[in-house]
Structure 1
Amino acid sequence: MAYNRPWKSFPEQLELLKSRGMVVTDEAAALDYLERVGYYRLSAYWYPFRKFEVVQSDNAGKLATRALDEFQPGTQFVDAVHLYLFDKQLRLYLADALERIEISLRVDLSYLLGKRSPFAHVENTKAHFHPGFAGRAFSKNNPKPAFDAWLGKYRELVKRSKEDFVRHYHTNHGDELPIWVAVEVLDFGAISQLFSMLHPRDQLAIANRYGVDDWKVFKSWLFSLSYLRNLVAHHSRLWNRNITSKPKLPKRGKIAWCDAFIDNEDTRFKPFLLLAITRTLVKSICPNTEWHERLAKHLEQFPEQHSSRKLDLSGMGIAEDWKDWW
């Protein structure tokens, strides 16, 4: 279909919101946010305050909800701003935690593989990787073997790197970086992919360091945290989004806090489970950390709204008993 929505100035954007029933108590401040943050980004935070109707989605009679160009009574511009600021701070907390996890995993991988060979990460042998994992198709859309796909990504990361240490090693030691240097150019996705090709015994050895005794669970956790890292890095809305990468959970009773999520399937598609996984890994890395306490305090400060539609932490998939174990 042809796109027919016209460009609008910032004042026109604000007038459009007001015409749809949004209350603007401070026009200067609202215009400032539109100019600095943008209509489209903020729209993700006022979207839940719109009115919705139930419609028939297809000829089979399936029903769906459709957003109307009208806000719930009492909805204020500041309601969306407060949600945006809450989400922004949430991402900042997670950026801190995910950095700790990423760096710790770099050490784990370089220590384990480096003991066998300084260049184990580019040597696709049974001594370093499980042939079934390294040789399988990378994805449904990419039939290239997983190791070849990973190696291509790694080579590109090295090529793009502007770090002084990369130039130093190339100048003084040759083209191939040893694993303990190479890990420093890996992003979270590459780390997750490298981990997924290891022998199960090696995956389990690393997982055990983080208090997880099922390597398949831990592997899925890293994959999900890679997805979370991308959301954080790209400043994407996080607090109430549906998660496309559903992490596995251990068997009942293995990790106590996981049991609540086993009993409630819906929460496994929401971000709070990823926050709980992050908490577990950070506490295993830094036993004396107060990161999880700071995050809990932030969650407890979820903003109140003027709108007649009230939002709360349930939109994150939060467990009812989370304060008991957090």
Structure 2
Amino acid sequence: MVVTDEPAALDYLERVGYYRLSAYWYPFRHFEVIEDPKTGKPTTRALDEFQPGTQFVDAVRLYLFDKQLRLYVADALERIEISLRVDVAYLLGRRSPFAHIENTKAHFHPRFVSKPFSRSNPISRFDAWLNKYRGLVARSKEDFVRHYHRTHGDELPIWVAVEVMDFGAISQLLNMMHPRDQQAIADRYGVPDWKVFNSWVFSLSYLRNLVAHHSRLWNRNITSKPKLPQAGVLGWCDAFIEDEETRFKPFLLLAITRMLVKAVCPNTEWHQRVADHLDNFPEQHSSKQLTLSGMGVTEDWRAWW
């Protein structure tokens, strides 16, 4: 790998770190196909050589592109998260101020809340969520929480409780709510299937964790694959339905974010800023040219974005 400006390269290594930057020069390495000694199946191995022409600045530009992308995503997810808090608080709170801690059929789907949290943890999903929620309340340093405890008692009503919940807690609470409430919230965002919407929120919770921990985003494989509606229901989803591989890439999550943030803020220009950013994907000196396809960008994206 060619270093054209050694002081600048050292500066980036000192500020950003070798390991973090290595994720952005990794795609420029040579790879070979070998046989996995355990499975006997072919697998790829990265070699300690780079494609001809690869420069250190190629990795830096990708890093800066990814950093700005995460900032855009964080901005949108903040709006979506706050909006979901209001939606959940309104639907549960109109029936009971403390609906979120009342495991009843009026608030929650009994089959959802009674399912074990995991194979290794037989506690019910509701009880696991309740333990998480109480931990968030106990750790909260917010003045409004201490004031409410002093003035009204130990239990926070739902419209206060949602303010201490993180995206993950909101996602899990939504997942347990009665389907009629889940559908009512999904309708507000223009999603006709509450199960699809539920999976979208769960995937955005995963995305929120990536962004919060400053993890590489632009070309990673997504472990939380969102569900999609039937073909023709939401036109922009069709290209992802037809190409299974794109459903494991971050561009689908960006597209979901776009739809939801436009429902929250109809006059937003967030999607345009992101489109401009994608159009400015950094050029590279390397003979191996990386493109937006590494993000799972569909060929028709400009037509509906």
Give the TM-score normalised by structure 1. 0.92
Does 2:116 correspond to 1:116?
Answer: no
**Alignment match, 1:256:** 235
Does 2:254 correspond to 1:275?
Answer: yes
**Alignment match, 1:90:** 69
Aligned mates of 1:125, 1:60 — CA distance in 2: 49
Q: Deviations over 1:223-265 (max 9, x none)?
A: 1000000000000000000000000000111100000100000
Unaligned runs of 5+ in 1: 1-21
**Alignment match, 2:267:** 288
**Alignment match, 2:129:** 150
Letter in 2 for 1:90: L
If asked which structure has higher relative contact order (CA below 8 Å, sep 6+), I would say: 2
Q: Deviations over 1:174-225 (max 9, x none)?
A: 1110100000011110000000101111110100000001011000001100
1:141 Cα deviation from its structure 2 partner: 3.7
Aligned mates of 1:207, 1:117 — CA distance in 2: 21
Letter in 1 for 2:175: S
Does 2:32 correspond to 1:39?
Answer: no
Give the TM-score normalised by structure 2. 0.99
**Alignment match, 2:142:** 163
Aligned mates of 2:41, 2:109 — CA distance in 1: 45
Instruction: Please state whether the residue corresponding to 1:319 is helix, strand or coil.
Output: coil
Q: Deviations over 1:32-73 (max 9, x none)?
A: 000000000001000001111110113654111100011111
Does 2:2 correspond to 1:23?
Answer: yes
**Alignment match, 2:214:** 235
Letter in 1 for 2:65: F
**Judging changes above 3 Å, is the alpha-carbon distance between structure 1 residues 282 and 59 closer, same or farther for their aligned structure 2 residues?**
closer
Instruction: Please state whether the residue corresponding to 1:142 is helix, strand or coil.
Output: coil
Letter in 2 for 1:260: A
Aligned mates of 1:269, 1:140 — CA distance in 2: 25
Unaligned runs of 5+ in 2: none
1:200-219 matches, within 5 Å, as: 200-219=179-198
**Judging changes above 3 Å, is the alpha-carbon distance between structure 1 residues 42 and 167 closer, same or farther for their aligned structure 2 residues?**
same
**Alignment match, 2:223:** 244
Aligned mates of 2:239, 2:121 — CA distance in 1: 36
Number of equivalenced pairs: 305
1:137 Cα deviation from its structure 2 partner: 1.2
Aligned mates of 1:272, 1:126 — CA distance in 2: 37
Identity among equivalent positions (%) equals 79
Does 2:117 correspond to 1:138?
Answer: yes
Does 2:87 correspond to 1:125?
Answer: no
Aligned mates of 2:34, 2:121 — CA distance in 1: 37
Letter in 2 for 1:297: D
